[in-house]
Amino acid sequence: MGADRPAGTHDAEGAGDCQALSMRPGPTQRQVPTRSAGGAVCGVSAAPRLEPGSRVQFLHGIGPQRSRDYERLGIVTVEHLLRHYPRTWLDARRFVRIGELRPGELLTVEAAVHSAAAVRARSGRSDLIVALKDGTGTLGCTFFGQPFLARTLRPGVRVVVSGELDPFEPRMTNPMFEVVEGDIEALLHVGRLVPVHALTRGLTARSMRRSVREALDAIGERVADPLPEDLRATLGLPGLASALRDIHFPEDPAALERARGRLAFEELFLVQMVLALRRRALAEAGEGLVTSTSGELARRAIEALPWALTAGQQRALEEIVADLARPQPMQRILLGDVGSGKTVVAFLAALHALEAGHQVAFMAPTEILARQHAATLTRLALTVGVQVEALTGATPAAERRALGARLESGAPVLLVGTHALLEEKVKLPRLGLAIVDEQHRFGVRQRALLARKGVIPDVLVMTATPIPRTLMLACYGDLAISALRERPAGRGRLVTRIAGDEKFPQVLEFMARELVAGRQAFVVVPMIEEGGRMEARAAEVEFRRLAASRELAPFAVGLLHGRLPAEEKQRAMAEFATGRLHVLVTTTVVEVGVDVPNATVMVIESADRFGLTQLHQLRGRVGRGEARSVCVLVPGPTAGVQARERLETLARTDDGFEIAEADLRLRGPGELWGTRQSGLPRFRLADPVRDAERLEQARDQARARVEADPVLGRPVNAALREALLAGFREPLELALGG
């Protein structure tokens, strides 16, 4: 370990920073740190040295232009550069003689340059052709478009090249190469596990590796380790310095795996710390209202329902009601597939809060859904004489003012709106319960905003996105979970079929038969860019095509997409709901919540472009009534075999959790929710599925640490605190003051 570190860097045992400084080689002169950290106490008035916070420009070969290139990768400081982990590593460790080279494998040879000549290709491009010899044979190397390499690869120079042999000639094309100067151990670009970093225009793999090497040597030992020493000792994790060295330039796969494991743990641990701190802060706050009632209102409402609650609904309600009765603010998520009956559970919980004289806010991700929820809740509330108020973009100003005044007076109202309720200046001084539909679009920030409305309300988030347990823990570890797993009785079967593009006419005929029988159908057009103009255009084109088709001639076809004016969206939805429209051509705006039990057919075009979870949610729009429903997935013309196989998962199973796990494995967590809206943390090395065990460890360790040191004031936690505030300031405002 560490054998490949050039002498002169400050690794001398016990030498301390001052000595290291005096041993520093040449480049130090041009290094002007922008920030001085701990080491500056040295009394030596030597040239300032590179610090972790110094800009990358102070590294060799990085001028203003290149530093702007780095900035595009989010790399500003030298420490950022070290945190730019490789995407992958090429195993070029097999050294052979030229005579032993075989095609089909990444192999490495050490040899001398025999000759090098630039040749002009017919395209006008100049290539460099180099002949290498090692006593067992001659190897030709062609470097496309790089005649300037002749200056480096001069006859007599010893080089190491790694590459694959051409199957027909003793030749390599564009092999990786490196001139051997000193120790063969110190190779960066060949003959080792070669790191492959993500690049951007202006940066080359070689320059990146050299800069990373230089940064490691200069500051690798001085980057503050967010993992406290006692924690590392307990878990047997390597320190940050060696992990950074090994993630970029591992000596062997074991060293790489140790480094990856440690850095992945760090990512998971930081997120778990955020969650644990928030959890603790909320529990401490204790400012929540205590909702303790006889439950009379809810009981009456349950009696008035035309059906009985499922066992799952009953259990979830009990869990929620128990939380409401505690002074600590509830943080609970209600998981359940589309149509599993979450809304009723939320409504009954709301009744408990209202009965206690508290206000309730019910928030949906879109206007359409907010209005739909308002309608559903108004209907449900009729039986118990509770008033439901809606506040959306369409609410007239006068009404808005009157409602605002009532709310500000603390009247117990069930208020329905979009997530914009959070941003609005709506005053809810007696907000006891906030219900948030579709949590996966609901970020940490919004939760913090909510807490500022006055008292800290109990929060119930509902989502139909079946979140795999592993990811749940990784991202929402601070939430308690209630799950609805069974579908309410009285639902017809939902069958999913896959039909190639060429079968589209038959699909339309089938649809027409259902329509004749009085049913309705959705046609979902492929997702292009979410909510974008292209998608709207595609929907319009498809709408015109279907409206003009022979099969659908006798029926009324409507159009719904996100770019339509609000009233038109509204009208399309209403007309489809009342049955005036038979077919609705739509984009993914129907994904969440739209409830038309008479719709029994859904055709999803270019289905391969969607994630499995999203398809599962989409198809949940049908099969809500008693009749049998059919969802037809039509893969796009370019869909490959794999894409079709992926779709088979949906035809095979109806279990949302299984689908979510499959999606997570296939596409990764970022894709699953679209990281940006969801506020989900981005992991670079950690993989919640593969690192499930690590994740649990991280959670346990985080909770224990917060218990022992709630504001992270102890010196051993200082670097951890810094790292958390640097990476997660917003979500932590709540926990660490703010």
Tell me whether residue 134 is exposed, middle or buried, using C-beta atoms within 10 angstroms of its C-beta: 0 to 12, 13 to 18, 19 or more: middle
- Pick 86 or 593: Cβ nearer Mg ion: 593
Cβ(86)–Cβ(247) under 8 Å?
A: yes
In the block, tokens 């409305």 appear at 453
Amino acid, res. 33:
P
Length of the chain: 738
Quote the CA–CA distance of 407 and 427 in Å, as a whole number.
6
490 lies in the site for ligand ADP, by CB under 6 A: yes
H helix runs in 383-419, sequence order: 397-408
Q: How far is the CB of 375 from Mg ion (least distance, A)?
A: 13
Size of the site for Mg ion (CB under 5 A): 1
Q: Does 489 bind ligand ADP (CB under 6 A)?
A: yes
What are the start-end ranges of the H helices in 174-252? 205-219, 229-235, 240-248
Rounded distance, CA 45 to CA 48, Å?
8
- Per-residue x/- marks for Mg ion, 575-614, CB under 5 A? ------------------x---------------------
Q: 413 near 351, Cβ under 8 Å?
A: no
Residue 341 binding partner per list Mg ion, ligand ADP, none, with a CB distance cut-off of 5 to 8 Å that depends on partner kind: ligand ADP
Q: What are the Cα distances from residue 552, in Å, to 565, 581, 583, 596, 601?
A: 26, 12, 9, 20, 14
Shortest Cβ distance from residue 305 to ligand ADP (Å)?
A: 8
- Name residues whose C-beta falls within 8 Å of residue 732's C-beta, 6 or more positions apart in sequence: 274, 277, 278, 724, 725, 738
Interaction between residue 310 and ligand ADP (CB under 6 A): yes
Nearest-5° Cα angle at 730, 422 to 423: 15
Comparing CB distances to ligand ADP, the nearer of 212 and 602 is 602
Question: What type of residue is 4?
Answer: D
Of residues 317 and 604, the one with the C-beta less far from ligand ADP? 317
- State the Cα–Cα distance between residues 588 and 597, nearest whole angstrom: 18
Cβ proximity to Mg ion: between 593 and 731 the closer is 593
The distance of closest approach from Cβ of residue 558 to Mg ion in the complex, given in angstroms and rounded to an integer, is 22
Give the nearest distance from C-beta 73 to Mg ion in angstroms: 40
Taking the least distance from each CB to ligand ADP, the nearer of 371 and 453 is: 371
Min dist CB 367 to ligand ADP, Å, is 17
d(C-alpha 309, C-alpha 315), whole Å: 10
Task: Mark residues 589-618: x for contact with ligand ADP by CB under 6 A, - for none.
Answer: ------x-----------------------
Using the rule CB under 6 A, is 144 a contact of ligand ADP?
A: no
Confirm or reject binding of residue 711 to ligand ADP (CB under 6 A). no
Query: Which of 237, 464, 589, 612 contacts ligand ADP by CB under 6 A?
Result: 464
Q: Which of 386, 29, 70, 9 is nearest to 222 (CA)?
A: 9
Does the protein bind ligand ADP through residue 488 (CB under 6 A)?
Answer: yes
- Partner in contact with 489, chosen from ligand ADP, Mg ion, none, beta carbon below 5 to 8 Å by kind: ligand ADP
Q: Which residue has the tokens 């003009």?
A: 548
Considering the complex, what minimum distance in angstroms separates the CB of residue 435 from Mg ion? Answer: 11
Residue 483 is a binding residue for ligand ADP (CB under 6 A):
no
- State the binding string over 249-288 for ligand ADP (x if CB under 6 A, else -): ----------------------------------------
Interface pick for ligand ADP out of 112, 309, 449, 685 (rule CB under 6 A)? 309
> Of 736, 722, 738, which is closest to residue 276 (Cα–Cα)?
736
111: tokens are 């040899």
Among Mg ion, ligand ADP, none, residue 731 binds (CB under 5-8 Å by kind): none
> Least distance from C-beta 343 to Mg ion, angstroms?
5
Q: Which is nearer to ligand ADP, 439 or 606 (CB)?
A: 439
Q: Per CB under 6 A, does 343 bind ligand ADP?
A: yes
Residue with tokens 């006593």: 135
User: Rounded CA gap, 414 and 282, in Å?
Assistant: 24
Options 341, 443, 457, 681; binder of ligand ADP; rule CB under 6 A: 341
CB of 625 to ligand ADP, least distance (A): 9
Contact 494, 619 (CB under 8 A): yes
Under the criterion CB under 6 A, does residue 313 sit at the interface with ligand ADP?
yes
Of 430, 387, 389, 378, whose CA–CA distance to 408 is shortest?
430
Binding segment for ligand ADP among 79-87, 207-215, 303-311, 527-535 (CB under 6 A)?
A: 303-311
Minimum CB distance to ligand ADP smaller for 225 or for 591 = 591
Asked if residue 363 binds ligand ADP (CB under 6 A), the reply is: no
CB 248 within 8 A of CB 228: no
Q: Could you say whether residue 577 binds ligand ADP (CB under 6 A)?
A: no
The distance in angstroms from the start CA to the end CA of the chain is: 45
**Vertex 369: Cα angle to 410 and 366 (nearest 5):** 85
- Nearest CA to 420 among 451, 452, 389, 442? 442
Could you tell me if residue 191 is left (phi over 0), alpha (psi between -120 and 50 degrees) or otherwise beta? left
- The nearest distance, CB 650 to ligand ADP, in angstroms, is 18
Q: Which is nearer to Mg ion, 160 or 435 (CB)?
A: 435
Q: Is 340 in the site for ligand ADP (CB under 6 A)?
A: yes
Residues 127-156 interacting with Mg ion (rule: CB under 5 A): none
**Least distance from ligand ADP to the Cβ atom of residue 311, Å:** 9
Between 162 and 313, name the residue whose CB sits nearer to ligand ADP.
313
Place of tokens 């509204």: 570
CA–CA dist 666, 679 (Å, integer): 21
Six-digit token pair at 213? 């090497």
Residue 313, contacted partner among Mg ion, ligand ADP, none, CB below 5-8 A by kind: ligand ADP
Smallest gap from Cβ 370 to ligand ADP, in A, equals 14
Dihedrals phi, psi of 76, to nearest 5 degrees: -110, -45
Residue 730 contacts by C-beta under 8 Å, 6 or more apart in sequence?
444, 445, 448
Residue whose CB is nearest to Mg ion in the complex, by number: 593
Window contacting ligand ADP (CB under 6 A); options: 73-81, 96-104, 342-350, 701-709? 342-350
Among 203, 338, 351, 577, binds ligand ADP (CB under 6 A): 338
Residue 3 lies near ligand ADP (rule: CB under 6 A): no
Give min distance, CB of 561 to ligand ADP, in A: 22
Residue 629 binding ligand ADP, by CB under 6 A: no
DSSP 6: P
Residue 144 interacts with, from Mg ion, ligand ADP, none (CB under 5-8 Å by kind): none
Distance CA 594, CA 520 (A): 13
Full DSSP string of 357-384: T-EEEEEESSHHHHHHHHHHHHHHHHTT
Q: Among residues 338 and 431, whose Cβ is nearest to ligand ADP?
A: 338
Q: Where are the alpha helices (DSSP H) in 25-129?
A: 64-72, 78-82
* CB of 462 or CB of 712, closer to ligand ADP: 462
Measure the CA dihedral 141/143/144/150, to 10°: -130
**Of 92, 187, 344, 536, the one binding ligand ADP by CB under 6 A:** 344
Number of neighbouring beta carbons within 10 Å of residue 185: 11
* Distance of closest approach, residue 341 Cβ to ligand ADP, in angstroms: 3
The yes or no reply on residue 468 touching ligand ADP (CB under 6 A) is no
Where on the chain is the footprint of Mg ion (CB under 5 A)? 593
Where on the chain is the footprint of ligand ADP (CB under 6 A)? 307, 309-310, 313, 336, 338-344, 464, 488-490, 595
